[in-house]
Amino acid sequence: MSLKNRNLVTIDDLSNGEIETIFSLADEMSESVKKQMNLCEGFIMATLFYEPSTRTRLSFETAMHRLGGRVISAADIGATSLSKGESIADMARVVGSYADIIVIRHPWEGSAKVVADYAGIPVINAGDGGHQHPTQTLCDLYTIKKERQTIKGLKIALWGDLKYGRTIHSLIFALAKFGADILFCPSPGLEVPEHIIKKLTTEYGGQLEKFEALDQTVKDSPFPLDAIYTTPSSPHQLAMMPDISIAVEMKSGVDALYVTRLQKERFTTAKEEQAIKKEYPVVDKKLLKGKLFKKTLVMHPLPRVDELAYEVDADPRSMYFKQAARGVPIRMALIALLLGTREIPIPIEDVSPTPKIDYPVYRRASGIRCNNSRCVSVQETEAKYIKPEFKIVDFKPLTLRCIYCEHGLEPQYIASSDWHEGRLESKKYHSADSHWVRKIKPGNLIIFDTEKEAQSRGFKPSSYVKRTRRKRLKKK
């Protein structure tokens, strides 16, 4: 197994064994940086950063220079043809002919996947909107592993903006893959999005207990605990004895506290930002004096604003500058493996902790599209060539997951492309919660956002739709 010519768009693109391989090579490279100078000689990396960046961009460029390669870059959408209306796909094709590997940061969620689909060379996602930031997650996991020797069985608290923090979204899935327990500590109104929670609980095998089930002593503490995810390798006692088991679990303390800033660039209005900012929790010496944090690693992807006090910098538990420094050897290892200039054996797990589910895929040019306004697939320049594509992740209720931004949606109406029995009078659409959703083969399924859309395609409402409509009118 090799990473050569692969893409890294989400953290799910790497198995646990592949992540461990990257860590192993990063260890080797950090001990002999100067010996790596000829490893990528003659190779060119294109860094396309269409959102602000300091650490990620500089660490990638430093990594490539340390490997003996060269860098070409674009750092402002306004100075590129994207500002003229060029599609990301066309840009990817062109840059793919200039370079050997691309590192892309873009505000649209799913944009890195589009670049990976069209570039023809390895592509690394350096952050696509509020979706994911997988290389930051590699730095985070690497830091935990270096400081604690393991990740499995640790209790990791995620603090702050869990709604828009892309580093959080990648880290949640990675921690679950490696068997950690996750404590969710959001600022009010910035809880983890439901589509991420659904993926976590259905695909990673653990158990999530929400705030209502948590022990009162935890609720009343300065620790803003909202929910706990317990790994499949832990005893699932929370549902049976939440008050007792939570108290016992918390007595051993928190192994790492991962702090994030308020992602103000994701807010639509200044008023919304100010309202949430007032209640944003701060990590300082006073908080860290608590028993829960006696041996806690304090982590932060940086940059910080007001959520992490400067007085914590001198505390031996603070890890955030180490995280940033470790970004160079991690990215050196990743670049060398994707370019194939280094190949080392990748361990194969005896039992995969997160077996991939073979979901049916829904692809149709019309009828439905992603409801996430930040998704690359709904942008005017991209919708010309991107066809809506979803994984059907559930039938009760019918739930789709966009393949670009991974947001979920529950459509209201369905039909069949074979009209059920091939008769024109059977060309009907049904409510998505009817029995038809399980009878129509996924390959024949047609999904609509609205009744108007279904009717414009020549479908008529079934008796079930009419009955449901009458019931709604009666309730009014």
For domain 11-129+327-339, the CATH architecture is 3-Layer(aba) Sandwich (3.40)
| pLDDT over 80 (residue 467) | no
| pLDDT over 90 (residue 248) | no
Gap between the Cα atoms of 242 and 68, Å rounded: 55
Q: What's the confidence (pLDDT) of residue 291?
A: 84
Section 228-240 average pLDDT:
64
| pLDDT over 80 (residue 352) | no
Q: What's the confidence (pLDDT) of residue 241?
A: 44
Gap between the Cα atoms of 133 and 109, Å rounded: 11
Section 18-40 average pLDDT:
93
Q: In CATH, which superfamily holds the domain spanning 135-324?
A: Aspartate/ornithine carbamoyltransferase (3.40.50.1370)
Gap between the Cα atoms of 2 and 238, Å rounded: 40
Section 125-149 average pLDDT:
96
From the list 47, 257, 224, the residue with the least C-alpha distance to 140 is 257
Cβ pair 257, 298 in contact under 8 A: yes
Cβ pair 189, 239 in contact under 8 A: no
Section 89-114 average pLDDT:
96
Strands 123-128 and 101-106: parallel
Section 119-136 average pLDDT:
97
pLDDT tens-digit map of 185-224: 998 889 999 999 999 999 988 888 876 655 444 455 556 7
For domain 361-475, the CATH architecture is Roll (2.30)
Gap between the Cα atoms of 223 and 36, Å rounded: 45
Gap between the Cα atoms of 359 and 355, Å rounded: 12
Answer left, alpha or beta for residue 458, where phi above 0 means left and psi between -120 and 50 means alpha.
left
Long-range contact pairs involving 317-325 (C-beta distance under 8 Å, separation at least 24): 317/288, 317/293, 319/143, 319/147, 319/256, 322/143, 323/139, 323/140, 323/143, 323/299, 324/55, 324/59, 324/139
Section 413-433 average pLDDT:
78
Tell me the three state secondary structure of residue 389. Answer: strand
| pLDDT over 50 (residue 244) | no
Greater model confidence, 23 or 471: 23
User: CATH 2.30.30.20 in the chain, residues?
Assistant: 361-475
The residues pairing with 389 across neighbouring beta strands, listed in sequence order, are 363
Q: Is the pTM of this model over 0.85?
A: yes
> What element of type H or E holds 286?
helix 285-288
Distance linking the first and last C-alpha atoms of the chain: 60
Contacts of 272 (CB under 8 A, 6+ apart): none
Contacts of 199 (CB under 8 A, 6+ apart): 173, 393, 401, 406
pLDDT tens-digit map of 364-422: 877 789 999 999 999 988 988 888 899 999 998 999 999 999 999 999 999 988 765 55
DSSP secondary structure letter of residue 357 = P
Gap between the Cα atoms of 300 and 176, Å rounded: 19
Q: Residue 212: how many CA atoms within 13 Å on its side-chain side?
A: 0
DSSP 193-247: PHHHHHHHHHHS--EEEEGGGS-HHHHTSSS---EEEE-TTS---TTT-HHHHHH
Q: What's the confidence (pLDDT) of residue 216?
A: 46
**Portion of the chain with pLDDT greater than 90, in percent:** 56
| pLDDT over 60 (residue 245) | no
Q: What's the confidence (pLDDT) of residue 469?
A: 65
Q: What's the confidence (pLDDT) of residue 350?
A: 45
| pLDDT over 90 (residue 437) | no
Q: What's the confidence (pLDDT) of residue 356?
A: 72
pLDDT tens-digit map of 274-332: 667 777 888 899 989 988 898 999 999 999 988 899 999 999 999 999 999 999 999 99
Section 443-455 average pLDDT:
90
Residue 467 C-alpha from the chain's centroid: 40
Q: What's the confidence (pLDDT) of residue 210?
A: 78
146-150, 301-305, 351-355, 466-470: least confident range: 351-355
Q: What is the mean pLDDT of the chain?
A: 86
User: CATH 3.40.50.1370 in the chain, residues?
Assistant: 11-129+327-339, 135-324
Q: What's the confidence (pLDDT) of residue 239?
A: 46
Q: What's the confidence (pLDDT) of residue 223?
A: 65
Q: What's the confidence (pLDDT) of residue 189?
A: 85
Gap between the Cα atoms of 79 and 439, Å rounded: 52
Across 241-301, the runs of DSSP E, i.e. the strands, are: 256-259, 297-299
Section 60-80 average pLDDT:
88
Q: What's the confidence (pLDDT) of residue 421?
A: 56
Cβ pair 99, 42 in contact under 8 A: no
118-132, 183-197, 228-242, 318-332: least confident range: 228-242
| pLDDT over 90 (residue 351) | no
**Portion of the chain with pLDDT greater than 70, in percent:** 83
